Chain A
Amino acid sequence: CSNKFLEVAPKGTFLESNYYQNQEQAFNGLIAVYDVLGWQSNGFVTKVGVLDAASDDHYAGGGGSSDIMAFQVMTNWTVTPATGPQEDLWKKGFAGIFRANTLLAKLPGVPMDDNLKKRYAAECKLLRAFYFFDLVRFFKNIPMPLTPIATDNMYNVLQVPPADVYKQIETDLKDVIAEVNLPDQVDRRSEAGRVTKGTAHALLGKVYLYEQKWAEAAAEFKEVNGETPGQLNAKYGYNLVPDFATLWKSDATAKFNSESILEVAFNSVSGGVWSAVGSTDGNLLNIQTGPRNYKRIAADAPDYVSGWSFLVITPELFNAIHYDPRYNATVLNMDSLVKNNIATYDPKAGYMNTGYFLNKFAGRVSNQSKGGGATELNYPQNLYEIRLADTYLMEAEARVKAGEASGAGSRAYALLGAVRARVGLGPVLATLDNIFNERRLELAGEGHRFFDLVRTGKAAAVLGVSRGFVAGKNEILPIPLLELENTKLEQSKEWGGTK
């Protein structure tokens, strides 16, 4: 046979060597960078799920003590280097970084409009900064590739000091902010979800906050929050939505509302199936957080779907939020529904059942996918990584930490007051305690609480006795075990390593 017989065209497959040849292909590469925002593993592990399970506001729940182990071990702090969510979260972050680095490396060679190219590059850098920020918070000691890692260098990569990571994140975000081709706002109908300059300021503010650079943080947040807390920031289009409860809906009005700064998009049309759970673009939290065996009795009973009872709300959060105006939007009190003959569920089937479910995400029949795939895996509700109420509270915190006034008339007071006023609460002094209490109630279930506890040093006090959190260890996750094999990476000291 001739050699030709052994030449097979890779039909239906693009080769890397001849991809990124035009604007469309560059855009497709950019989509892949965004894709990682909604990363969910085949084992149902999600970033928000892990962070909720780790906080004092939730128990892992589910069907039993080994149902989604990655959540269970966060709730009872039996994480070990071999068992836990670390591998999924690590993979998520570096997948995003790789895709961003790939496109950044390819962009200069793509024949396309230069300004558009600069916008894509800014988006890549912003998302890369976001992924690095998650990684450094979760793991502290991470490698920091800024270009795609060459095959021959694959095993020689070293971890860098966390400070260097923060520095790089700052540099990237400052570049992004300086990029004139990155818009301040995008068309909500067709482009919502793409990051804007507002996103960059908000993220940079949050990074500064974690670095305890209070003044810098406050300045960035102010850019985002606008001159007058509670009023429209016309530059970026940000404003608190009037009705707190609408934040948790999935209709066109709710998605990418004026409060959304960095929102993770999901949809019901990706046809996610059980054999590839991680590939769905539906939101898994919806089916995960629903009560088990939910059943309507009364005609006007809410239309929850029967879910898996994960991330149930703890009595502690229930007590804290019970009389807050945000209670109903946040907590689904099944025991109350049962008592009032509105609906039933199976309290015995859910592990660590408290009777309180995470109403922000509990799946709704009205939200169920009508398209293909498994109904359970294709809920379209979006998630907020950063929303305006969060940046209000972060700015207030930064200002108070920076030594600014917290009383009436101060900006911190106004920021906190705006968040409270939206739900009909009167103003309170912007003390750190009040701010953090507000954060807990406002952002419950959205994955902020655990990092707030850690960065304020309260984790051990709150989670130590009740959950088994070990100070000096559980603040970060162990580097995934396999990642240490055959590489130059070292385990963190917190986990018995050398780094």
Chain B
Amino acid sequence: CLHISAKGLSQQITLSEKNAPLKKVLKEVARQAGISVVYDETLLSTFAPVNIDVKNVTVKEAMDVCLKNQPLAYVMEGKRITLVNVMPERVADSSITVTGRVVNETNEPVPGATIRIQNSSLGTAADGNGKFTIKVPNSKSVLIVSFIGYDSKTVAISGNTLNVQLKPSQTALTETVVVGYGIQKKSVVTGAISSVRAADIESQPVTRLEQVLQGRTSGLTVAASSGQPGSASSVRVRGITSFNNNNPLWVVDGVVVDNGGIGYLNQYDIESVEVLKDAASQAIYGARAAAGVILVTTKKGKAGKMTVSYNGYYGTSAPAHKLKLLDATQYATLRNEAVTNDGGTPVYADPKSFGKGTDWQAQIFNNHATRQNHEISISGGSEKSTFYTSFGFLKQEGIVASAISKYERANFRLNTTHKITPWLTWGENIGYAYDKSTGIGNTNNEYGGPLSSAINLDPITPAIETDPALAAGAPYKDNAVRRDAMGRPYGISPVVGQEITNPLAYISTRLGNYNWSHNIVGNTYLEMEPVKGLKVRSTLGAKISFWGDETYTPISYLNSSTISPRTSFARGQHQGYNWNLENTVSYTKSFGLHNLTLLAGQGAYMENRTKDVTVTFYDIPADNFGDASLNFKSAQANRISDGNEGIDHRVSSLFGRINYNYGEKYLAEGILRRDGSTRFGPNHKYGVFPSYSLGWVASKEGFWPENKVVDFLKFRGGYGTVGSDDIGDLAYLATIGSGRNYTFGNGDGEKYLIGYSPNAPSNPDLKWESTSQTNIGFEATVLRNITVAFDWYNKKTNDILQKPRIPYYVGAIDNPAANVGSMKNSGIELELNYHNKLGEVEFSAGGNVSYIKNKVTFLGNGVKTLADKQERFQGMPEIVRTEVGQAFNSFYGYQSLGIFQTQQDIDNYVDSKGNKIQPKAKPGDFRWADLDGDGVITDKDRTFIGNPMPSWTYGVTISAAYKGFDIVVFGQGVSGNKIFQGLRRLDITNANWQTKALDRWTGPGTSNDNPRLTDLDKNKNYTNPSSFYLEDGSYFRIKTLQIGYSLPGTVTKRIGLQKIRVYVMSENLLTITKYTGYDPEIGGTNALSIDRGIYPQARSFMGGLNVTF
């Protein structure tokens, strides 16, 4: 048999051939349709040549023309067409002639349906009225009736007539999925792989690819690190795998791209994204797969008519939620209270006189931030060459301080394939993007930036000082204060200082500054098939990037401690170059029901070849970004430069895979990969990563009863090990560092000398971190319309690469790298999809839910806690801690047992010996739990108070279509985590409060949660990390809602278009959460869910258009 395989289903066939061999015509149909045709070569050669001239017909129509007057029938099962010889054969005397009719769900005939006798090659096809006649061996024979787009049906003979009703197939079992170095039919995949398809990707207005994955697949946690347009999100595949880098490996068309690097992709160019979740599917990427692998496939051209598409939208964004902050009157009242509570005298004589004051949030939020995205793609090709090319443009304003929060991207793509000879294909996939982004500088940081300032600034200070008398006095007089267009100074708070500055003034100092990048990511390949089933492929991929920034700093006086006395202009220029070369050989062979695919390959990867130069000129004579230039040659001493070069990170790999299945019923796969890395010394340069997995399609068994409940059922399980070399370069060596400098001499003889000393002891035994994972799951189709996929896994990371703290008394400036630490992740994942057509309404619903549990199991002999990777909040001790037995970086702090209402409460709070535990407390202070029972509140009374990582993540998509109308609702959420709401500056006692402070304790019985106001805070009500700062992080969000209308085909054809659809769409329409900060979705490096004033996600409304010519 020849097995032609391709992709795509509802293809239109256009074909014109005269006297062509049937085989050639069939192959062309198969190719255009993206389906497989299975036939017996010797049989086929005996048939007459074909004349065919069809245009835009269905597969069925094309097949009917091909096989007209030929003694052949065909069976369409999913994406496979099997040709069946219907030449009458001799049959035994017991044979029965059965006649019947095949109809569909609405009792319409199904012409061309195939009727096959089970366990034989005999069959026939239904005629134009759906009728058929077939001779069967005996009355016990069983017929299998099938047709493309319908579920096949097995029927027992019951007499001489038989009417069969077929139901439309809605299963995903005929789908293919992209796996490492190949494509597999989903029904025979044995690993845990989740896919997101073009349709889902296109329906979301995203600036970066990882955002489309949020809530779309199980086993994935995606959290935006900022609502700043164009900023990356934290992506975690099955939780936190290591202490270091937990970013998955992104592979775009076979090219490995680092996590930050996928920003160059345009969503409309994506054909599919596959998330490889378990070791069995990841193992082929061995060395770098530990944090998961995400395969991105871009769109390819298809032979036939040229297709031109436009996709685009335009809309506006606004903040979905503002913080509730005190107004000026409330602020002054509470300030007075805080001061008098500490024994002082009130600061503000008449709080009411301040009125509402300044709403700082209103000063920086933009309710009409625009956003747009456009892409035109052209695809098509001939039998010899196909192409897909596109040009896209995206532009988005941020909702915070839009003047300095913008993102723009233009991208271009060209994917082509060329069939040089029937057995030799050459192709390339190249994407290029330029982007320009302007950021607000500081986001999710309590130390400044417009958001933190708007939260902490007192509302009494005016945004702009409009009183000329005040504007002529201190601090505006004689200082380089920033002014608005009318020359009025931006208000400077007399009470809130440090990094907290008037955001309008701050914005004015950053106007024009931007970051830019050019990225070219592409590959080119040559694929040979010298012998049937044997493919040799060589791929060369590269990523070339250039990026940089332009920053001008004016002379400014933002407040007494934020002064920039000099101008400066800085330029950073960076370049990076990665390449990889992969050569693979695969061989596919089927004999009988045995199907075997072997793959062997070799890969070489080079990354991190970066070069950086930054230069800063001080004291240039320019007072704005537009005029700033390095052509202003300031004195040599005032030109500061720096540079850097990356050290090559190279990996060399050998890998092999064996896939075997028996009748697509019993499935097995084994993978072995060996990687060598420059990051390890000779002792452990190479790591070997094996995996195996097995599958059993129970529903294919002969004993599987015909039933209406479960149509398809596959069990699968696997175990494997993948690795990581993510420890930085040269970490196994003892290096000498510079920068330990000192000055000798004075006056003109003074010398600033560069000192050198060892960084850290070497560790020649440094080796691979390994992650082993067991995955067991099943996939099923139930009640015909519902698909279910379930997975359970247990993942263990050992020999975690880190730089574990060595005692400080060793005196090294850095810690040596070592393999210390183990962590466990276990979880379950469920994906459910439902599709049905009810009358004229197409309806589908899908959802996924994942549960994950993380536990640190080892941190080194005698080591209880991890010293680095911590997160701190202002002057507090660490607010998260990694400890054996707990989840990685869980919130850690004191436990409050409520508030002392009276002095008696304080006096009664005693230890076992009757001594007062908090003798210095005052009514209104927190009663801290004395967990170690030593009678005093110390550091030892801290405990684990919550997990920043959600234990549950889920997503739901519901879509419906009726006539030309369609609607998609996609929602996504998490639960089980806490958020640290760290929005107020603790060291600035005059900082504004959220309205929660109005519920503070003011006397017995007033509050048991919000302590009294105090600046001195002797009881550390506010300066202790405690549950006081933690809030429930659960949320559910309507991520996108889209309503579209497609013009009827008759209308579009008249105006010469294939398709025209208009839609309106909303992003982040609704978020349901108890969290009181801006946004419950808070990404982060060491720990998620720490809110220091995160840039919130915008709520957008957009109108869009899809047109296909």
Contacts and interface: CB of A to CB of B under 8 A. Distances in A.
Contacts of A188: 745-746, 749
Given A10-B733, A281-B752, A292-B561, A66 B987 contact: yes
B1017 A32 contact: no
B938 interface: yes
B735 A13 contact: yes
A476 interface: no
A421 to B, nearest CB: 26
A199 interface: no
Contacts of A306: 560-561, 563
Contact of B474 (A38, A62, A187, A344): A344
A1 B602 contact: yes
B167 interface: no
B494 to A, nearest CB: 7
Given A16-B736, A65-B1015, A189 B747 contact: yes
Contacts of B989: 64-65, 351
21 contacts: A6-B685, A7-B678, A8-B648, A10-B735, A12-B647, A13-B730, A14-B736, A16-B733, A35-B740, A66-B987, A94-B808, A98-B757, A98-B812, A99-B757, A190-B749, A265-B744, A281-B743, A292-B561, A295-B474, A370-B638, A371-B637
Contacts of A155: 807, 862
Given A8-B729, A349-B560, A35 B741 contact: yes
Contact of A483 (B494, B618, B754, B809): B809
Contacts of A230: none
Contacts of A256: 745-746
Contacts of B730: 8, 10, 13
B758 A16 contact: yes
A145 B745 contact: no
B497 interface: yes
Interface string B829-869: 00000000000000000000000000000001111110100
A194 B744 contact: yes
Contact of B736 (A19, A36, A154, A372): A19
Closest 5 CB pairs of A and B: A98-B811, A252-B747, A66-B875, A189-B749, A372-B640
Contacts of B743: 193, 265-267, 281
B1006 to A, nearest CB: 24
Interface string B486-506: 000000001101100000000
Contacts of A483: 807-809
A388 B478 CA distance: 43
Contacts of B678: 6-8
B863 A269 contact: no
A483 B805 CA distance: 10
B740 A90 contact: no
A340 B871 CA distance: 47
Interface of B: 347, 474-475, 478-479, 494-495, 497-498, 559-561, 563, 565-566, 602, 604, 616, 618, 637-638, 640, 645, 647-650, 652, 676-678, 685, 729-730, 733-736, 738-758, 761-763, 805-813, 816, 860-865, 867, 874-877, 938-939, 986-990, 1015-1017, 1023
Given A10-B733, A28-B755, A281-B752, A486 B861 contact: yes
B922 to A, nearest CB: 16
A68 B986 CA distance: 12
Contact of B755 (A31, A157, A271, A489): A31
Contacts of A25: 756
Given A8-B648, A10-B647, A190 B745 contact: yes
A482 interface: yes
B938 A80 contact: yes
Contacts of B938: 80
Contacts of B811: 94-99, 101, 145, 148-149
Given A80-B938, A87-B808, A31 B741 contact: yes
Provide the main secondary structure of the chain B interface. Answer: loop
A492 to B, nearest CB: 15
Contacts of B748: 189, 252
Interface string A138-153: 0000110100110100
A35 B813 CA distance: 12
B749, B860, B876 interface centre (most CB from chain A within 10 Å): B749
A12 B757 contact: no
Given A16-B736, A82-B939, A99-B740, A31 B753 contact: yes
Interface string A242-268: 000000000010011000000001110
B645 A346 contact: no
A40 to B, nearest CB: 13
Contacts of A151: 761-763, 816
B300 to A, nearest CB: 30
A83 interface: yes
Nearest to B743: A265
Given A295-B474, A485-B865, A308 B561 contact: yes
Interface string A1-39: 101011110111111110100000100111111111110
A118 B812 CA distance: 24
Contacts of B734: 15-17
A181 interface: no
A76 to B, nearest CB: 9
A16 B735 contact: yes
A349 B864 CA distance: 41
A294 interface: yes
B648, B744, B988 interface centre (most CB from chain A within 10 Å): B744
Nearest to A256: B746
Given A29-B756, A31-B754, A373 B749 contact: no
A31 B861 contact: no
Nearest to B566: A375
B637 A15 contact: no
Contacts of A427: none
A66 B747 CA distance: 39
A69 interface: yes
Contacts of B763: 151
B755 A29 contact: yes
Contacts of B867: 482
Contacts of B812: 98
A431 interface: no
A29, A31, A94, A481 interface centre (most CB from chain B within 10 Å): A31
Given A252-B746, A255-B746, A266-B743, A154 B640 contact: no
Contacts of B648: 8
A81 B474 CA distance: 44
A339 interface: no
A265 B742 contact: yes
B987 A271 contact: no
Contacts of A113: none
Interface in A182-216: 187-194
Contacts of A148: 758, 811
